[in-house]
Amino acid sequence: MDRVNNILQNDKYKEYIKMNEFYEKDRIFCHHDMQHFLDVARIGYILSLEKNIKVKKDIVYAAALLHDIGRWKEYEDGTPHEAAGVELAKGLLEESNYTEEERNMVLKAIGNHRKKDNVPGTLSEILYKSDKLSRGCFQCEAKKQCNWSDEKKNLNIQY
Ligand SMILES: [Fe+2]
Ligand SMILES: [Fe+2]
Q: Which ligand is nearest to the CA of 64?
A: 2
Q: Are 155 and 137 in contact (CB under 8 A)?
A: yes
Q: What is the DSSP letter of 150?
A: T
CA of 16 to the centre of ligand 2 (A): 14
Going from the Cα of 128 to the center of ligand 1, the distance in angstroms, rounded, reads 9
Of 110, 118, 119, nearest in space to 81 by CA: 110
Answering whether pTM is above 0.85, one says: yes
The residues of the chain scoring below 70 in pLDDT are none
Which ligand is closest in space to the CA of residue 31?
Answer: 2
Q: Give the C-alpha separation, 136 to 156, whole Å.
A: 8
Q: Reduce the DSSP state of residue 41 to 3 states and report it.
A: helix
Write a three-state SS string for 90-141.
Answer: HHHHHHCCCCHHHHHHHHHHHHCCCCCCCCCCCHHHHHHHHHHHCCCHHHCC
Q: Name the closest ligand to CA 131.
A: 2
* Per-residue pLDDT at 119: 95
95: CA distance to ligand 2 center in Å?
23
pLDDT at 125: 97
pLDDT, tens digit, for every residue of 78-91? 999 999 999 999 99
> What whole-number distance in Å separates Cα of residue 141 and Cα of residue 137?
8
Residue 132 Cα, ligand 2 centroid: separation in angstroms? Answer: 7
From ligand 1's centre to the CA of 132, what distance in Å? 9
Q: Kindly identify the ligand whose nearest atom is closest to the C-alpha of 135.
A: 2
pLDDT at site 150: 86
Residue 99 pLDDT: 98
How much distance in Å is there from the Cα of 138 to the middle of ligand 1? Answer: 20
- Separation of CA 8 and ligand 1 centre (Å): 18
